[in-house]
Amino acid sequence: MNERYKNPKSILNLSIVALVFVIVLIGVFIFPTYKFAFISLIFILAAGISLYTGVKQVQEGWRYYFIVFALTWLSWSGMLLISNFVYIQGNTVLTSSILIFFVLLALSLTIYSVTLSWQRLK
């Protein structure tokens, strides 16, 4: 078994993350109108976990691909929030421009993070 799972503090952190994840999923089923907001919260939670893991691994001398994963999750979350909750009255060009920016950012970061993960596995 991996050493980090024997640490009680690590088990407590994993259980807190799992509890927050379950609470957010319950919120999705109770308030279906705001499901995209709750999904964005899940993405932000995943980004926080990736960022924490990335910072720990950079301190240990590993690569920084978890930090890129965090940026990827945050860009997908921003895209979901903007596409569903931001409405600039009378200016659809600005809204679509911002959305196109987040789509391009999310896709490029996704490709970059997959490439970094694939290189790490080699």
Number of structural domains (the chain) is 1
Dump pLDDT digits (tens) for 53-87.
Answer: 788 777 766 667 778 888 888 888 888 887 777 66
Left if phi > 0, otherwise alpha if psi is -120 to 50, otherwise beta: which for 59? alpha
pTM: 0.64
The domain containing residue 100 runs over which residues?
3-121
For residue 99, what pLDDT is reported?
79
81 in Cβ contact with 47 (< 8 Å): no
pLDDT above 80: residue 5? no
3-class SS at 73?
helix
pLDDT above 80: residue 101? yes
